[in-house]
Amino acid sequence: MSARKKARIVVLGGDGIGPEVTAEAVRVLEAIATRYGHEFAFESHLIGGAAIDATGSALPSQTISACGTADAVLLGAVGGPKWSDPNATVRPEQGLLALRKALNLFANLRPVSLHPALLDASPIKADILRGTDIVVVRELTGGIYFGEKHRTEDSASDLCTYTVNEIQRVTRVAGKLAQGRRRSIVSIDKANVLETSRLWRSTVEQVLSSEFPDVKLEHMLVDAAAMHLIRKPSSFDVMLTENMFGDILTDEASMLAGSLGMLPSASLGAATLGVYEPIHGSAPDIAGKGIANPYGTILSAAMLLEHSLGLSEEAEAIEKAVAECVSKRVFTADIAAGGAAVTTKQAGDCVVNRVLQ
Ligand code: NAD
């Protein structure tokens, strides 16, 4: 059993179903603290639309400083129709981007694996999905999204830039991750046309061969990767890619799992501090009804224990508890497919009870 750990965890519930799902993940973390003898202190702060309403900013300075000094950050989701005016100068998602930037979180991890009980929830055939267990590592703070932008009346351009250092650091995250898994990385680029991709390819090769010689590397063009992800998802272990390709491929990969509500994510930097959140949004259509699926956020809490607090056994205890609840078909409406559905709180109760057993 791991040594007794003290940790300060900032909780940013955000908007819509965000506070509902983070509340369940906090209860699960409290159960972990009870069972394993840790001391977790939780501190709630504002982000997104809720922060705009209260302070006029999507990421108040108080939130940034609380997150910067925390051991980890658990986030729900931001946004909603109330703040979606395209002409507004302050928007909820600015809070998320600013938080990642302020904490220098350059690697986004999105695991996608499928519980056998959920094989039929995906639009892809069960035979193709069986055995799927992927982590996509996406570079998060460079590339075309952050390059110089120009616009004239009849033309526009977005500059895509990567430095060797930006590619090296995200490759190291992927390398370490692969060493704890099946030791295989597919690095995705468009090296047949893009100069940034050619730099990406040679840098990834250099870092992995010198620092992770036990990890097998394959390069794949992004168009081929998009196809193989649907044709044979079980062939991938770790997929490593740049910002825009990662943005698109992670959404494609999320469809393998059937429901957005099941999938966690982690955004990591050079130190242990990270931001952990489900991949879904604030789901305004079901907010306030108590029916949102909390499993993706609870699994994000497991990633928090593993990556920020170094508590692998505890992380596994959460993953096992969620898998047991799913096996017992403790399903919220999004995965119940018209069958009996439980509430957000009942799904949380199921995981808490199993953690405490
Ligand atoms: P969404 O993920 O919020 O919802 C898409 C659909 O999935 C909805 O039908 C919703 O009810 C369902 N869904 C999502 N999460 C669920 C859960 N945990 N349990 C059950 N059902 C769930 O995406 P959207 O509707 O495109 O966006 C809504 C708002 O969320 C927008 O304002 C958008 O900008 C924002 N958003 C935020 C994030 C984030 O905070 N990281 C990500 C995506 C979208």
Q: Tell me: the pLDDT tens digits for 27-82? A: 999 999 999 999 999 999 999 999 999 999 999 999 999 999 999 999 999 999 99
Q: For residue 153, what are the contacts with CB-CB under 8 A and spacing of at least 6? A: none
Q: Computed over its alpha carbons, how large is the radius of gyration of the chain? A: 20
Rounded Cα distance, 67 and 45, in Å: 9
Class of domain 123-257: alpha beta
Closest residue (by CA) to atom 6 of ligand 1? 283
How many whole angstroms from its chain centre is CA 204? 22
Q: How far is the CA of 154 from the centre of ligand 1 (A)?
A: 35
Q: Closest ligand 1 atom, CA of 75?
A: 40
User: What does the pLDDT read at residue 43?
Assistant: 98
Q: Which residues pair with 274 in a beta bridge?
A: 268
Question: Which of 133, 145, 158, 320 is the catalytic position?
Answer: 145
Pick the CATH number of 1-109+259-357 from 3.20.20.70, 3.40.718.10, 1.20.1250.20, 3.30.70.1520: 3.40.718.10
Closest residue (by CA) to atom 11 of ligand 1? 283
Q: Closest ligand 1 atom, CA of 292?
A: 19
Give the number of other CB atoms < 10 A from CB of residue 329: 14
Q: How far is the CA of 281 from the centre of ligand 1 (A)?
A: 3
Rounded Cα distance, 95 and 51, in Å: 9
User: What does the pLDDT read at residue 298?
Assistant: 98
Q: Closest ligand 1 atom, CA of 280?
A: 2
pLDDT, one tens digit per residue, over 289-321 is 999 999 999 999 999 999 999 999 999 999 999
Q: Are 79 and 49 in contact (CB under 8 A)?
A: yes
Which residue numbers in the chain have pLDDT < 50? Answer: none
Q: What H or E segment, with its residue span, contains residue 276?
A: strand 274-278
Q: How far is the CA of 66 from the centre of ligand 1 (A)?
A: 26
List of long-range contacts for 306-309, beta carbons under 8 Å, 24+ apart: 307/109, 307/266, 307/268, 307/272, 307/274, 307/276, 308/7, 308/71, 308/72, 308/272, 308/273, 308/274, 308/276, 309/5, 309/7, 309/71, 309/72, 309/272
Question: Which of 120, 216, 223, 289 is the catalytic position?
Answer: 223
List the domain boundaries for the chain: 1-109+259-357, 123-257
Asked if 127 is an active-site residue, the reply is no
Q: Closest ligand 1 atom, CA of 333?
A: 20
- pTM for the full predicted model: 0.95
Please say whether the dihedral angle defined by the alpha carbons of residues 326, 22, 88 and 83, taken in this order, is positive or negative: positive
Rounded Cα distance, 194 and 197, in Å: 5
Identical fold, 1-109+259-357 and 123-257: yes
Asked if 145 is an active-site residue, the reply is yes
Rounded Cα distance, 296 and 277, in Å: 8
Which residues line the pocket of ligand 1, CB cutoff 6 A?
Answer: 17, 21, 77-80, 84, 93, 96, 260-261, 280-286, 292-293, 296, 332, 334
